[in-house]
Amino acid sequence: MADGANAMLTGRRRGEPALSTGSPRRLRGDVPLAVVAAVFTLLQLIFVHPWMGLGWDETVYVSQVTTHHPAAFFSAPRARGVSLLVAPVASWSSSTELLRVYLAVLSGVGLYLALRAWKGLFPTRVLATAGAFFATLWVTLFYGPQAMPNYWVAIGALICVGCFLRSWQERSGRAALWGVVAGAALMAWMRPTDAVWVTVPLLALVLVRRRWMLLLALVGGLAAGGVEWVIEAYGWYGGLGERLSRASEIQGGLGWNIAVDDQMRSLGGRGLCRPCTGSMPHPVVTAWWIVLPFVAALGVAVAARARRTARTLVPFVCAVTAAAPYLLMIGYAAPRFLQPAYALLAIPVADGLWHLARTRRGRWRPVAAPLVALAVAGHLAVQLTVLEGTVDRNVASREDWARVADELHRLGVRPPCLVTGHESIPIGYYTGCSSGATSGNNENTTAAEIVETARRIPVAAVTGPGGGAPGYARDWTAYPITDLTVRVAPRG
């Protein structure tokens, strides 16, 4: 620490060879990162079946750009980044398989570019290990080929923080500054509020040290990615404050609310834990999550001892601020919310694991190295087991929506049409209908408007198990489909 921030960033381990700037050496260093990214893509295609139907949130994002389905209601917290990401495929094809393959390949490319942003800051083995750790988490494999924003916030965070550190030590000149812009813009493009939480430590650091070009790159990237969300706030929600307020309301009201236990309950493969009740998963499933911050802290301690604290401490602190709102400020949980934190923690975690396995002179520790290898193998087995169960459950639930859609078609509910009530957004998407809700987070219509619509096109009201018919549909003919009840409006 006594040598200053720049020394911490530029220092390297004793006995560690200086990184060569020659092209052949750089290309050899890229190969392990490319292999990690390629294996990540392959594992997605193997374990997350490309034919798995779209999930609830995916139908919202995809419906905004496809010509095959009406656009679903777009609530205040959402941003358009995912819709634009899938547009090259979804705008002309309704094939779920093609969309999954496209996203799997794209997520592999994104991981490779994100790891390359850290070249020169850590040895290739550390970066490859970090990438492998993040890529083999079940939540990363599960959401990589899905039309969801959190993985891409994680990739943007890695690019932004890595390029920030490279620019700080003046290692890559303008290229690093543009990397900061790109990473910040990608995060804000996907989830503007998450982008702010990730970059809070970076903004504080550049203000304290008066690094104005870095400040401009950070603010410029956030503005470029978030400008559409802000414009939309004034066009649709009555202003930025109103949109943020509505987003907070939809998320149950942001405030002091410890959700650490909720996140642990979700680790067993629950996509959304709201309300988050029930027992905790088996300790084997949650062990990695408990150990993770300690291994990351070990990585920071190792870096401090080697006088390169900042390059490890900065991603650690950014991970903490990225996770804070989801651990301390909301009353429910979803594993994907913490993906940016996992991606940033992967760097100090990988550094810590290599320290446990090898001495500073590069020799394997005879006891610790086999134990680390055994722990990593067990961790991988647990992640793939949870992933397999998660995929099976989601395939089944999405097939249920498809069955309901087939029955609605048989009953004459065909596009153009309207589906209201329980799970109207995904059922409407699978049926090819618009979706409507008279209350709740996705409220976008009224009972009177639904009745008026039923005079022109087919309308179906769906109620869940034990649910009662809405007032406007009490006289409509009821049909049991799976565990749901569907009421179809009489013609005319």
Question: What's the pLDDT band for 6 if we cut at 50, 70, 90?
Answer: very low
Q: Is residue 315 part of a domain?
A: yes
- Both 41 and 175 in one domain: the answer is yes
**pLDDT for res 274:** 85
End-to-end CA, the chain: 77
- Both 88 and 230 in one domain: the answer is yes
- Tens digits of per-residue pLDDT, 150-209? 999 999 999 999 999 999 987 667 899 999 999 999 999 999 999 999 999 999 999 999
Q: Decide if 447 contacts 472 (C-beta within 8 A).
A: yes
- Both 335 and 408 in one domain: the answer is no
- Both 102 and 196 in one domain: the answer is yes
Mean pLDDT of 78-94: 97
Mean pLDDT of 207-227: 96
Mean pLDDT of 95-112: 98
Q: Is residue 107 part of a domain?
A: yes
* Model confidence at 257: pLDDT above 60: yes
Domain span at residue 84 reads 4-363
Interatomic CA distance for residues 318 and 84, integer angstroms: 27
Number of domains, the chain: 2
Give the global pTM. Answer: 0.93
Interatomic CA distance for residues 467 and 106, integer angstroms: 41
* Residue 271 CB coordination number (10 Å): 20
* Model confidence at 275: pLDDT above 90: no
- Both 104 and 44 in one domain: the answer is yes
* Model confidence at 78: pLDDT above 60: yes
Pick from 401, 402, 420, 403: which is nearest to 458 by CA? 420
Question: What's the pLDDT band for 3 if we cut at 50, 70, 90?
Answer: very low
Nearest-5° Cα angle at 202, 260 to 84: 75
Q: Is residue 12 part of a domain?
A: yes
* Model confidence at 120: pLDDT above 60: yes
Q: Is residue 382 part of a domain?
A: no
Q: Is residue 388 part of a domain?
A: no
- Both 124 and 243 in one domain: the answer is yes
**pLDDT for res 449:** 97
Q: Is residue 385 part of a domain?
A: no
**pLDDT for res 188:** 98
Q: Is residue 369 part of a domain?
A: no
Pick from 383, 288, 386, 285: which is nearest to 40 by CA? 383
* Model confidence at 1: pLDDT above 80: no
- Both 46 and 191 in one domain: the answer is yes
Among 311, 346, 363, give the residue marking a domain's end.
363
- Tens digits of per-residue pLDDT, 312-335? 999 999 999 999 999 999 989 999
